[in-house]
Amino acid sequence: MPSTPAHVANVPVNQIREITQAAWAVPGAIVLSIGEPAFPVAPHVLEAGMAALERDDTNYTPNAGIAEVRAAFAQRFSQLSGVAADPHRAYVVAGAQQGLHLALSTLIAPGDEVLIPDPGYPTFAMTVGLLGGVPVPYPLAPQHGFQPRIEDLRRLVTARTRVLMLNSPSNPLGSVFDHDLTRDLVRFAHEQDLWIISDECYEAFTYDVPHVSPARFDAGGPEAVQGAAAARVITSLTLSKTYGLTGLRIGALITPPGMEALLDNVMEASVSCVSATSQYAGLAALRGPQDYVSTALAHYRLNRDAATAVLDAQGIDYLDAKGAFYLWADLSHATGGDVRAWTRNFLAERGVALAPGTAFGAMGEGWVRIALCGDTDELVEGLSRLPAAPGRAVNPVSR
pLDDT of 153 strictly over 70:
yes
The sign of the torsion formed by the CA atoms of 101, 105, 110, 112 equals negative
Closest listed residue to residue 77, CA positions, set 234, 279, 301:
234
Average pLDDT of the segment spanning 267-294: 96
pLDDT in tens, 199-229: 999 999 999 999 999 999 999 999 989 988 8
Q: What is the pLDDT of residues 82-138, one digit of tens each?
A: 998 899 999 999 999 999 999 999 999 999 999 999 999 999 999 999 999 999 999
Tell me the per-residue pLDDT of 34-48, one tens digit each, with 9 for 90 and over.
988 888 999 999 999
Q: What span, in angstroms and rounded, lies between the C-alpha atoms of 303 and 380?
A: 8
Are the beta carbons of 300 and 37 closer than 8 angstroms?
A: no
- Cβ-in-10-Å burial (0-12, 13-18, 19+) of 185 comes to buried
Three-state DSSP class for residue 327:
strand
pLDDT confidence of residue 69: 98
For the residues 225-250, what does the mean pLDDT come to? Answer: 94
Instruction: Estimate to the nearest angstrom the gap between the alpha carbon of 114 and the chain centroid.
Output: 16
Q: What is the DSSP string of 328-355?
A: EEE-HHHHTT-HHHHHHHHHHHH-EE-E
Work out the widest C-alpha separation in the chain, in whole angstroms. 64
Per-residue confidence at 397, pLDDT binned at 50, 70, 90?
very low
* CA 320, chain centre distance (Å): 18
**Residue 217, SS3 per DSSP:** helix
393: pLDDT strictly greater than 80: no
- What pLDDT, on the 0 to 100 scale, is given for residue 293? 96
Q: For residue 232, give the 3-state DSSP assignment.
A: coil
pLDDT tier for residue 398 given thresholds of 50, 70 and 90: very low
Q: What percent of the chain has pLDDT over 90?
A: 88
Whether the per-residue pLDDT at 5 is higher than 90: the answer is no
Count of helices and strands (H, E) across the chain: 14, 13
Helix (H) or strand (E) holding 167: strand 161-167
Where residue 392 falls among pLDDT bands split at 50, 70, 90? low
Alpha-carbon distance of 194 to 254, in angstroms, equals: 17
Strand order in the sheet with 367-371: 318-319, 326-330, 367-371, 355-356
Inform me whether the pLDDT recorded for 341 exceeds 90: yes
Residue 188, φ and ψ in degrees, nearest 5:
-60, -45
pTM of the predicted structure, to 2 decimals: 0.94
**CA gap 286, 309 in Å, rounded:** 34
What 3-state class would DSSP assign to 161? strand
